[in-house]
Structure 1
Amino acid sequence: MKNYLAIPVFILFALAVNGQNNGENQDKLSNRVPDNEKLEKVKEMALKVVSEGFNAGDGYREVWIRDYNTFINIATKVHPKETLKENLLVFFRMQGDDGNIIDGFTPVASIGEDESDFSYSELEPRYAGHKNTVETDQETSLVQTVYKYIKATGDFALLSETIGGKTVAERLEWSMDYLMEHRFDREHGLLWGATTADWGDVQPEHGWGVDIDENTHRAIDVYDNAMMVIALDNLMEIMPGSREKWDPIKGQLEENIRKHLWDTEAQKFIPHVYLEGSPFPEDFKENEIFYFGGTAIAIEAGLLTHEEIEHSLNQMVSLVKQAGAPSIGLTVYPPYPAGYFANKIMNPEYSYQNGGDWTWFGGRMVLELVKNGFVEEAYREIQPMVDRVIENDGFYEWYSVDNQPRGSGTFRGSAGVLYDAIVALQQYENQEK
C-alpha cells in the first residue's frame, strides 16, 4: 500500500515548489508581497466576515457543508474549536439512514409552513436538513472539512465521538460507502451525478433543477471524482487503519479519471461522460467547453503533471481574455447557450454558474498554483480578485463578465479561499528570505 500523506493547506506546500522560478522572479515576488497592503487588508476583511457567522452568506439560512469546507481553516482563527466541532456534529447527527450527508442545516423555527423539501432527525431536533441531490460532493466535502478541522486544531478526539451508536470515524467511512453503493458507475469505475455546469448544483431539466428525478440525465464529471480522491487522501491520513480498504479505490479513481475524462489531445477535461444520453441537442459541441473549477480541484487532487498544470493555466488565461472576464474564477468557457437550462438563473450566457466569475473557485486555483511552484503566476492572478473585494467592500458570491458583483456580499467561501491563497503567498515569500 502507498503511504500517502495529504499536504495541509498551510504546511509544507513550499516543498512542492519545483525550482522552475528563477532567482530574479523570486526577488521580484519577495519585494512585492510585503509591499502589497491590499493583501493584508483583504485578510483582515476575511477574518471579520467569517467571525460573524457560519451560513454561506447574507440571504442564506443554511450552514452548507460545501461552503464550510472552504472557510473552516480561517474559522479556526476566529471561533472556538468547540463551536466548529458542534457544527460538524450536526451533519453527523443528520446523516441519512443510507449514510448520505445533507447539504446544509437550518433552524427548525425558520422553516415556513409551506416549505417541505427538508429532512429531520431524532438525533438533532433543533435543525432541518436540506440536500440538493443533483450534487455528489456533500459526503466528500464533509470528510475534507473534518480533516482540515483536525489538522488545524489537533482534535483527533472528534473521531471517537459517538452519535446514534456509531463513532464519527465510522460515520465518515459510512458516507464514503454511500457514494460507492449509490453513486458509483461500475462500467467506468467513477462516481456519477446529475448533469450540471462544472461544479454547479443546477441541472438543465425543468423546474429549479436541484433534485434528481425521472428527467435527470446522469453523468460523470471531473469535479465530483477529484473531490472523492481528495477526500480519500484525507480520510487515510487521519484514519490510517482505513488505508487497506480505500487506497486501492483511490488508485482506481485516479486511473479512470485519466482514462475517461482527460482529453490528451486537447489537454483538458471533457465536461461529461453520459450514462443514458445528453440533455442537450445532438449537434451541440459540449466537449469544446473548458471547466475551470473542476480543473482546479483536479490539480488539488494531484491528477495533473506540472506541464499539464502549466498548460491548463495558459488555457484559462487565454479563455478569460476571450470572454472579457475579470479573473480565472470564470466557471466555464464558452458558456452554455441561452435556453439550455430551464432554471432562469443559468440564463443568459455568463450568468451564475454558466460563465459567472466565482472567487470561490478562482482562489483555490491560485492556492494550487502556489503549491505547485507557479508563484509568480499565482500573484498575478490573485490581483483582480483582491482588487474587487476592496472596491466593492465585500466578498461577493460571483461576478458578471463585466466584473459587477452579484449575490451575497458576505460569501464566506470566497473569503476563506482568498485568505488561504494570500497566506500561502506570504508564507512562500517568508520561506525565500
Structure 2
Amino acid sequence: MKNYLLIALAAFTFGCTAQSKTNTLTEQIETDTQLPKIQEMGLKLLSTGFNAGDGYAEVWIRDFNTFVTQSAKVVDHKLIKDNILNFFYIQEDDGNIADGFITIRPGYDSTYYKKSVHKPTLAYHKNTVETDQEASLVQSVYKYIKATGDKSILQEKVVGKKVIHRLEDAMQFLLDERFNKTYQLLWGATTADWGDVQPEHDWGVALDENSHLTIDIYDNAMFVIALNNLIEIGGDDINTNKWKIVRAGITKNVAKYLWDEERQKYRPHVYITTSPFPSDFNEDEVFYHGGTAIAIEAGFLSKEQIKVQLDKMVQNVKESGAPSIGLTLYPVYPEGTFQNTGMHPYGYQNGGDWTWFGARMITELVKNGYEQEAWEQAQPMFDRVLKNKGFYEWYTRDNKPTGSGMFRGSAGVLLDAIDAFENLTVNN
C-alpha cells in the first residue's frame, strides 16, 4: 500500500512541477516588456517594403519567404500577391526561379541583371550556387495563402499558365537539373551551410568549371518543406502521388547519406566531385546550425534527436564565444579556405551569428515541446534588437551588428518566434 501511495505522490509531484514550469513560462511571456516593443519595431519595418534590407535593392525570394507571414499583418495583401506573382513573370522556360528582381530604373546594371521578357519593367538575376530559390517560392505562396486565406493566387494565370502549375514546374526543374542519380538527392555548389558563397572565387555566387559539386542538408530539407506545402495546397490540380513519392525518397536518402550516426549530426557535405578544402581540415566535425534547423522544420528528426542538436548548438556557442544559437556553424572554416575575404573565420556565413536562422530554430523548439529551452535561447536575439534599435543582418562573435541594418528576414523570423511563444499563453 505504501508503494502505491509513493508512486501516486511522485506522479502528483511531477505533474505539479511540470504545470508550475508551464505557468512560470506563461507568466514570463505575458509580462515580458521586450516582446511588444520588438513586434512594433518589426511590423513597422515590414510595412515599408519587400526588398531584403537597406543593403539590398532586390526583392529576394529566400528572404521574402521568411517575412511573408508577418507582412500580411501590415501590408495590403494585393501588394504581397503582386510581388509573389512577379517571380512567375521572371520564371524561365525550364521552370527555374530567380533569386531576386528589381524594378528597372535609369542606370541599372544590364550586365548583372537580365531583363524580363514578360514584364519589361523588371530585371532579375540568380546566384546559381544555390538550390533553394524554387523551394523558397513554393513556401512563400503557401505562407501567403495561410496568412491571407487567399487561395485564388493558385488559379492566377501568368503568361497563359496557372500559378499552381508553375509551382510544379519549379519543383520539376530541381528534379531535372539539380538531382543526383547516385544519391537520389538534390545537389548544389559547395557553400557554408545555407550560404550562397563558394570558396573558389572572390565573390563566389556563380557555378562554373571551378565549382565543387556537393549535397547538403539545407537544400534537401527546403525541398521537402516545399513538397509538404505543395501537396497540402495543390489538391486535384497537381500530381499528388508523384510528389509524395519524391518526398519519401528524399527523406529516406537524407537519413541514409547525410545523417552522421556516429556524431549524431548532419554531414556538412557529401561530395559528388571532390572537396575544395585542405586535406588536413576534418570538415565532418563542422556542425551546421542553419541546415539543422531547416531539417527539423522538414520533420526529419525525432524529438529526442532535436534535443541532441540543441545541446550541440548550445555547446558550440559556449566554445566559440558566439552570442546565440544563430551561430552559422562550428567549428569554422580556417582562414584562407574561402577566397571571398568576407568569409574569414567568424565572418559572414562562416561563423557569423544570424537571427535569420537562429529564430527559426527557436520556433521549431517551441513546436516540438522545448518551450523553456526556446525561451532561454531566444533572449540574446531579443536583447540585441532593442539594444541596437533594429533588425540587423548578422552579428559578429562579440555581438556587434553588421550587414544590412533593416534586414526584413530577421524581423520576420523573430516575429514568427514571438507568435509561437504567445500561442503558448493562449493554449495554457
TM-score, normalisation: structure 2? 0.95
Shift of 1:283: 2.1
Instruction: Count residues with an aligned counterpart.
Output: 412
Counterpart position of 1:245: 242
Matched residue type, 2:233: I
Secondary structure at the residue paired with 1:308?
A: helix
Distance (whole Å) between structure 2 residues aligned to residue 134 and residue 117 of structure 1: 16
Secondary structure at the residue paired with 1:106?
A: strand
Counterpart position of 2:115: 120
* Aligned structure 1 segments of 4 or more residues deviating by more than 4 angstroms: none
Distance (whole Å) between structure 1 residues aligned to residue 40 and residue 356 of structure 2: 17
Higher relative contact order (CA 8 A, sep 6+): 1
Matched residue type, 2:221: A
Counterpart position of 2:66: 70
121, 125, 140: which one aligns with 1:145: 140
Residue pairs, 1:73-84, within 5 angstroms: 73-84=69-80
Matched, 1:428 2:428: no
Matched, 1:284 2:274: no
Distance (whole Å) between structure 2 residues aligned to residue 111 and residue 179 of structure 1: 34
Task: State the Cα deviation string for residues 76-110 of structure 1 (Å, max 9, x = none).
Answer: 00111110000011000000121100000012115
Matched, 1:182 2:177: yes
Residue pairs, 1:269-308, within 5 angstroms: 269-308=266-305
Residue pairs, 1:389-404, within 5 angstroms: 389-404=385-400
Shift of 1:111: 4.7
Counterpart position of 2:263: 266
Matched residue type, 2:393: E
Counterpart position of 1:27: 23
Counterpart position of 1:377: 373
Distance (whole Å) between structure 2 residues aligned to residue 176 and residue 281 of structure 1: 35
Matched residue type, 1:223: Y
Matched residue type, 1:224: D
Matched, 1:204 2:199: yes
> Contact 2:38 / 2:382 at 8 angstroms: preserved in 1?
yes
Measured on the aligned residues, the alpha-carbon RMSD in Å equals 1.3
Shift of 1:225: 0.1
Counterpart position of 1:42: 38
Counterpart position of 1:222: 217
Distance (whole Å) between structure 2 residues aligned to residue 59 and residue 409 of structure 1: 8
Distance (whole Å) between structure 2 residues aligned to residue 129 and residue 39 of structure 1: 36
Distance (whole Å) between structure 2 residues aligned to residue 369 and residue 381 of structure 1: 10
Distance (whole Å) between structure 2 residues aligned to residue 316 and residue 256 of structure 1: 24
Matched residue type, 2:131: T
Counterpart position of 2:166: 171
83, 87, 93: which one aligns with 1:87: 83
Distance (whole Å) between structure 2 residues aligned to residue 206 and residue 79 of structure 1: 39
Counterpart position of 2:354: 358
Shift of 1:345: 1.1
Matched residue type, 2:182: E
Shift of 1:120: 2.1
Matched, 1:108 2:135: no
Task: State the Cα deviation string for residues 229-287 of structure 1 (Å, max 9, x = none).
Answer: 00000000000233211001000000000000001111100000000111111222000
Distance (whole Å) between structure 1 residues aligned to residue 281 and residue 347 of structure 2: 19
Distance (whole Å) between structure 1 residues aligned to residue 278 and residue 388 of structure 2: 39
Shift of 1:117: 2.0
Distance (whole Å) between structure 1 residues aligned to residue 55 and residue 349 of structure 2: 18
Shift of 1:207: 2.9
Matched residue type, 1:259: K
Counterpart position of 1:11: none
Distance (whole Å) between structure 2 residues aligned to residue 240 and residue 284 of structure 1: 48
Matched residue type, 1:274: Y
Distance (whole Å) between structure 2 residues aligned to residue 279 and residue 240 of structure 1: 43
Task: State the Cα deviation string for residues 335-376 of structure 1 (Å, max 9, x = none).
Answer: 1001000111102x1000000000000000000000000000
311, 320, 325: which one aligns with 2:322: 325
Matched, 1:309 2:284: no
Distance (whole Å) between structure 1 residues aligned to residue 151 and residue 108 of structure 2: 38
Secondary structure at the residue paired with 1:282?
A: coil
Distance (whole Å) between structure 2 residues aligned to residue 59 and residue 162 of structure 1: 33
With over 3 angstroms needed to count, the CA separation of the structure-2 counterparts of 1:130 and 1:334, relative to structure 1, is: same
Secondary structure at the residue paired with 2:123?
A: strand
The percent identity for this pair of structures is 56
Task: State the Cα deviation string for residues 38-90 of structure 1 (Å, max 9, x = none).
Answer: 01110111000101111001021000000000000000001111100000110
> Contact 2:199 / 2:338 at 8 angstroms: preserved in 1?
yes
Secondary structure at the residue paired with 2:72?
A: helix
Secondary structure at the residue paired with 2:67?
A: helix
Counterpart position of 1:159: 154
Q: Unaligned regions of 5+ residues in structure 1, if any?
A: 1-18
Matched residue type, 1:302: G
Shift of 1:124: 1.1
Counterpart position of 2:252: 255
Structure index of larger Rg = 2
Q: Unaligned regions of 5+ residues in structure 2, if any?
A: 1-14
TM-score, normalisation: structure 1? 0.94
